[in-house]
A and B are shown apart, each in its own frame.
Chain A
Amino acid sequence: MNIIGPDFLVFGVDDMESCRQYLTDYGLKAAGDDRFLALDGTGVIIKPKDDPSLPAALETPTMLRKTVYGVADQATLEAIATELSSDREVKRLADGSIESVDDMGFALGFQVTVRTTLSLPAEIVNAPGSSHQRAVNDIGVQKVAAPEPRSLSHIVYFVPDFARAEAFYAERLGFITTDRFTGVGPFMRPAGTTDHHTVFFIQTPPHMLGCEHFTFHMAGPTEVMHAGRNMVEKGYQSFWGPGRHLFGSNWFWYFKSPLGCNMEYDADMDLHDDQWTAREGAPGADNSQAFLFKYTEKWSPMGPPPGAKPQ
């Protein structure tokens, strides 16, 4: 199954105007019809929670209503339709996509991917000994920046049975487990990407079924920091970060949102192919991150001018 990754996440929300403002401030571009897009055309779609075009709401408070995966071609789409039709309804929508559900009850969409191929440099760092450095006289950072999210990276679900979720995505859709937290759940990637994960499952009681967070890829750690600082300066509240995860190596910064889940920036995730052997670790703070920081306002060690009294 040549599934590439999530193209869109569709939310049925309580407060459209706050969500519009939030998603725009996060850095996505409003593209009409309440679609908010990253540079490669992937993104978030919001609708009022009672919009009749949305798949049915779950019984839990989650506002996530559908995960739309982009696939390589029409043949893949047909293969998925055939596979899922064996034991569940598969709808064909007017836009050419198909819609069904996974074994947890989450609505899934599949479409020939809308994502464009980006050609943009990653953040390049200078280090002694490295042959890959910024060009001489290229400046590494600006005082003010508005980094643009590049691509919808991954989604994390709370599920009541991670083993069943993992089996569905592996056996029915061809996802591969890259790493796992014991007793919590797997990180998985579909066959059409080398990203460490486009989905992670967290075992929870059934009343938590829903979206824990979702994430867009940025150019590098500097963009994660800059974008996160911009969010703090606009009055949004950090949930976790900034820091750097161990499984996946991705830099992270999570913010609470009016979409009923956290929204993250990430950068520099590991890439894996079929030669990779999945690791397993105990869950907990020590295995979740290499390091974790907390934002503080700008400060300088300059102190007062010579002879002046300390403030």
Chain B
Amino acid sequence: MEELAEGEARGFDPLDEGQDSVFVVRRGGDLVAYRDICPHYGSTALPWRKDAYLDAGGKDIICSAHGARFAIDTGLCTAGPCLGESLIPVPLQLSDEGEVLADLNSNNSVGVVK
């Protein structure tokens, strides 16, 4: 968890698919995670290059295909093609060893690790 700096995002490939399928954002000390799929087409990953999930100010999550903007804390699309739709949250847990664990089989609400 300490590897990710405040205001940064990082993609992960937990199923070894050759492309990141989950990304984690750290903001305000919290971590949130979403599937790396834009709701616009349902099959497009968001970033234009690895880990480029946020705008330059670190304010919103963006999809680089068509510029959709998403709130970091809720995943709700606030502007762009998929306005009103949401990213799929991935619940997170913090292990005793300080590792962040993502629950890939759940579609429950956003997991936040303090």
Interface on A for B, CB 8 Å cutoff? Answer: 14-15, 18, 22, 60-63, 158, 204-205, 207-208, 210, 212, 234-237, 239, 255-258, 260-262
Contact = CB atoms under 8 A, between A and B. Distances in A.
Determine chain B's interface SS by DSSP, over half rule: loop
Interface in B65-102: 65-69, 79-81, 83
Which of the listed residues B48, B55, B62 has the most CB atoms from chain A within 10 Å of its own CB? B48
Contact of B68 (A14, A61, A237): A61
Contact of B64 (A204, A207, A235, A258): A258
A61 B79 contact: yes
Which of the listed residues A236, A237, A261 has the most CB atoms from chain B within 10 Å of its own CB? A237
Given A22-B48, A258-B48, A212 B66 contact: yes
Contact of B48 (A62, A210, A212, A256): A256
B107 interface: no
10 contacts: A18-B56, A60-B67, A62-B67, A63-B67, A237-B45, A237-B48, A237-B49, A256-B47, A257-B64, A260-B66
B50 A260 contact: no
Contact of A204 (B44, B68, B81): B81
Interface string B21-57: 0000000000000000000000011011110100111
Contact of A261 (B66, B69, B79): B66
A224 B49 CA distance: 19
Given A212-B66, A262-B65, A207 B47 contact: no
Contacts of A60: 67, 79-80
Given A60-B80, A256-B47, A261-B67, 20 more contacts: A14-B57, A60-B79, A61-B67, A61-B79, A61-B80, A207-B80, A208-B80, A208-B81, A212-B66, A235-B49, A237-B50, A237-B64, A239-B44, A239-B65, A255-B48, A256-B48, A258-B52, A260-B62, A261-B66, A262-B65
A237 B37 CA distance: 13
Nearest to A234: B49
Contacts of A205: 83
Interface of B: 44-45, 47-50, 52, 55-57, 62-69, 79-81, 83
B97 to A, nearest CB: 30
Contacts of B65: 239, 256, 261-262
B39 to A, nearest CB: 13
Contacts of A235: 49-50
A14 B55 contact: yes
B9 to A, nearest CB: 14
A23 to B, nearest CB: 12
A113 B64 CA distance: 30
Contacts of A236: 48-49
A11 to B, nearest CB: 11
Given A261-B67, A262-B65, A14 B56 contact: yes
A204 B80 CA distance: 11
A262 B46 CA distance: 12
Nearest to B69: A61
Which of the listed residues A62, A63, A239, A256 has the most CB atoms from chain B within 10 Å of its own CB? A256
Which of the listed residues B45, B49, B63 has the most CB atoms from chain A within 10 Å of its own CB? B49
Given A14-B56, A235-B49, A210 B66 contact: yes
A239 B55 CA distance: 19
B21 to A, nearest CB: 13
A128 B79 CA distance: 54
Contact of A257 (B48, B55, B56, B81): B48
A165 to B, nearest CB: 18
